[in-house]
Amino acid sequence: MKKVMPYLCNVYDRWSNKRLIRRLALLLALAISTGAVSAQSTVPSVGMLGEFKKKSLVGSWVETFTFVGGPRDGFVGTALVNYNSDGTLIGPQGGPITFDPDPAKASITSEGAGSWTQTEWNTFVYTSYALFSDFIGNVVGSLKVKGIYHLDLPSRDGYQGYSFYEVLDKDMKPLVPPVTGFVTNVGKRLTVDLKVPPLPSQP
């Protein structure tokens, strides 16, 4: 009996160690999977799961921008911009056209395109680019804009912030001397209007 007891104790210890190892392995697996979920949920476009997804720029916006300083100080413009769930954005630089009898001197600005990311609970940073082309189709320059926005809470239907713009050459390199400036930004979310009037009946 004295020999049996140590043997049983050793078996119990080994069995307990195996259970402990299994538990630790399970906890490690859970930790890794949780980390993977967290990593996947912190992609730039969405932020963290749950509340972070609710506090997001994803959607379409009408934005008012006001130039600060420089030759266009005080000029106010309006544009549409779309923030996609994959961290890309479209807008808002497109539209301006400069007419000239010489098509090589006339220019048009492309739609803006870029990326955005969530850096804090309600803070977002973006960078976008737009191209300047003449009427022949040659790229003559570009525009780089980067800014920081703060989402209005708790409504999540507006944002405020500012942007820094820089005019680049056709190779996307800064001009010498540089042409730069700032604008302030105020955005309002575009929502679905559910009140669609009925189609008039045909006579």
Total-model pTM: 0.68
Classify residue 179 as left (phi > 0), alpha (psi -120 to 50) or beta: beta
The reported pLDDT for the residue numbered 172 is 92
Token output for 90 = 């479209």
Note down pLDDT in tens along the chain; length 203 residues.
Answer: 444 334 434 433 444 454 544 543 443 343 333 332 322 233 444 444 455 555 689 999 999 999 999 888 999 999 999 999 999 999 865 555 565 556 655 678 888 999 999 999 899 999 999 998 888 888 989 999 999 999 999 999 999 999 999 999 999 999 999 999 999 999 999 999 999 999 999 87
CA 120 to each of CA 31, 85, 115, 134: distance values in angstroms, whole numbers, following the listed order? 24, 17, 16, 40
d(C-alpha 157, C-alpha 191), whole Å: 9
Give the per-residue pLDDT at 91.
83
Amino acid at 84: N
pLDDT value of position 125: 97
Q: Which helix (H) or strand (E) holds 181?
A: strand 180-189
Rounded Cα–Cα distance for residues 117 and 120 (Å)? 9
**What residues contact residue 48 under an 8 Å CB cut-off, 6+ apart?**
38, 41, 42
Q: Quote the pLDDT of residue 104.
A: 58
d(CA 173, CA 163): 19
CB-based contacts of 154, cutoff 8 Å, min separation 6: none
**What pLDDT does 54 receive?**
57
Q: Which pLDDT belongs to residue 67?
A: 94
